[in-house]
Amino acid sequence: MVRAARPADVEAILGLIRELAQYERLEHQMHASAADLHAHLFGTPPACEALVAEAAGRVVGYAVFLGAYSTFLTRPTLYLEDLYVTPQMRGTGLGKALLAQVAAVAVQRRCPRLDWTVLEWNRPAIDFYRRLGAELADPWRLCRLDGDALARLAAGAGTI
């Protein structure tokens, strides 16, 4: 069963975010806190939204998404930050149910596009997404500025 996340789900979602970071071999990038996640999911306005997948009363999967934008379409779009189902519960349809629900939110909000990123070595995820109709937008590469490099560039900005 898929439903909107509630404040009582925050610890369970955080546990699954940690599992996802381990699965993606990105634990060194994981610095999440339950207090922050709570504030961002349930603040006014929220910074992002979450759905959870429940089985036998336990949260076993989640999706976090938020608004994005396309200048080529001049339309708000939706961005899927995370989609995760705990290994024991894969193959039960919960991942598809989560993604379908995010797609339904996109359609409901008249967002013509739902984007997300996937690790190129994560073949099971890529195959799963393709089966559901997604396309890999192959020529695009993710660029990132953070840490000292971000601070350094920011320090060189003029005042406006």
Cα–Cα distance for residue pair 128/10, rounded to 1 Å: 26
Q: What are the Cα distances from residue 43, in Å, to 36, 39, 47, 126, 145?
A: 10, 5, 7, 33, 27
Q: How far is the CB of 7 from a second copy (least distance, A)?
A: 15
Q: How far is the CB of 159 from a second copy (least distance, A)?
A: 9
Q: How far is the CB of 88 from a second copy (least distance, A)?
A: 21
Residue among 92 and 101 whose Cβ is closer to a second copy: 101
Residue among 64 and 85 whose Cβ is closer to a second copy: 64
Residue among 56 and 138 whose Cβ is closer to a second copy: 138
Residue 23 known to be catalytic: no
Helix (H, G, I), strand (E, B) or coil at 128: helix
Which of 62, 79, 84, 129 is labelled catalytic? Answer: 129
Annotated catalytic sites, by residue? 129
